[in-house]
Amino acid sequence: MLGRLLLRILGVGATGKSSPVPSDMGALPDSASVATVEMPLAEESLPAVAQEAAESMRETVRIRSGVLRTMFEDFRAHRETDRGDEETGWLLLGRRELDGVIIEGALPPGEFRDAGVAHVNMNSTAQAVAMRMLKRNHADLDVLGVAHTHPGRLNRPSHGDYQGDSQWVPKLRKREGIFAIGVWDFDNSLNSGFDAAKYQHEEEDAAEVRGSGSSSHSSGRARFFWFALAQGDNWYRHLCVEETAGEDLGREIRGHWEVLEHFAGSIDRLVRMQPALQMGLMPLDRMEIPTIVLCQPLAREGEELQVVLQGSEVGFFRTTAEKSEEVVGTQERLDAAFYEVMARLARGAR
In a domain, 28, yes or no: no
Is the per-residue pLDDT at 19 higher than 50?
A: no
CA distance 162 to 42: 13
Domain that holds residue 171: 48-250
CATH code, domain with 116: 3.40.140.10
The three-class DSSP label of residue 20 is strand
pTM over 0.75: yes
In a domain, 39, yes or no: no
pLDDT of residue 101: 96
Last residue of a domain, one of 214, 234, 250: 250
pLDDT tier, 321 (very low <50, low <70, confident <90, very high otherwise): confident
Are 162 and 223 contained in the same domain?
yes
Last residue of a domain, one of 250, 267, 301: 250
Are 204 and 313 contained in the same domain?
no
Last residue of a domain, one of 208, 235, 250: 250
In a domain, 35, yes or no: no
Are 151 and 185 contained in the same domain?
yes
Asked whether the beta carbons of 144 and 93 are under 8 A apart, the reply is yes
Are 217 and 106 contained in the same domain?
yes
Are 102 and 171 contained in the same domain?
yes
Residues forming a β-bridge with 242: 62
Are 174 and 73 contained in the same domain?
yes
Are 149 and 221 contained in the same domain?
yes
The pLDDT > 70 percentage for the chain reads 74
* Amino acid letter, residue 144: L
In a domain, 213, yes or no: yes
Are 86 and 188 contained in the same domain?
yes
Most confident of 15-24, 76-85, 108-117, 285-294: 76-85
Evaluate the CA torsion angle 231, 234, 236, 240 in order and state its sign: negative
Q: What is the DSSP letter of 153?
A: S
Are 173 and 297 contained in the same domain?
no
pLDDT of residue 52: 45
Our count of domains for the chain comes to 2
Is the per-residue pLDDT at 247 higher than 90?
A: yes
Number of other CB atoms surrounding residue 50 within 10 Å: 19
What secondary structure does DSSP assign to 64-99, as a single string? EHHHHHHHHHHHHHHHTSTTTTS--EEEEEEEEETT
pLDDT tier, 12 (very low <50, low <70, confident <90, very high otherwise): very low
Q: What is the DSSP letter of 228?
A: E
In a domain, 259, yes or no: no
CA distance 156 to 131: 27
Are 238 and 153 contained in the same domain?
yes
Q: Quick one: how far is CA 139 from the chain centroid?
A: 16
In a domain, 256, yes or no: no
Are 147 and 289 contained in the same domain?
no
pLDDT of residue 145: 97
Number of other CB atoms surrounding residue 43 within 10 Å: 6
In a domain, 269, yes or no: no
In a domain, 38, yes or no: no
Are 228 and 323 contained in the same domain?
no
pLDDT of residue 315: 96
Q: What is the DSSP letter of 32?
A: S
pLDDT of residue 287: 76
CA distance 92 to 63: 10
Higher-confidence residue of 60 and 229: namely 229
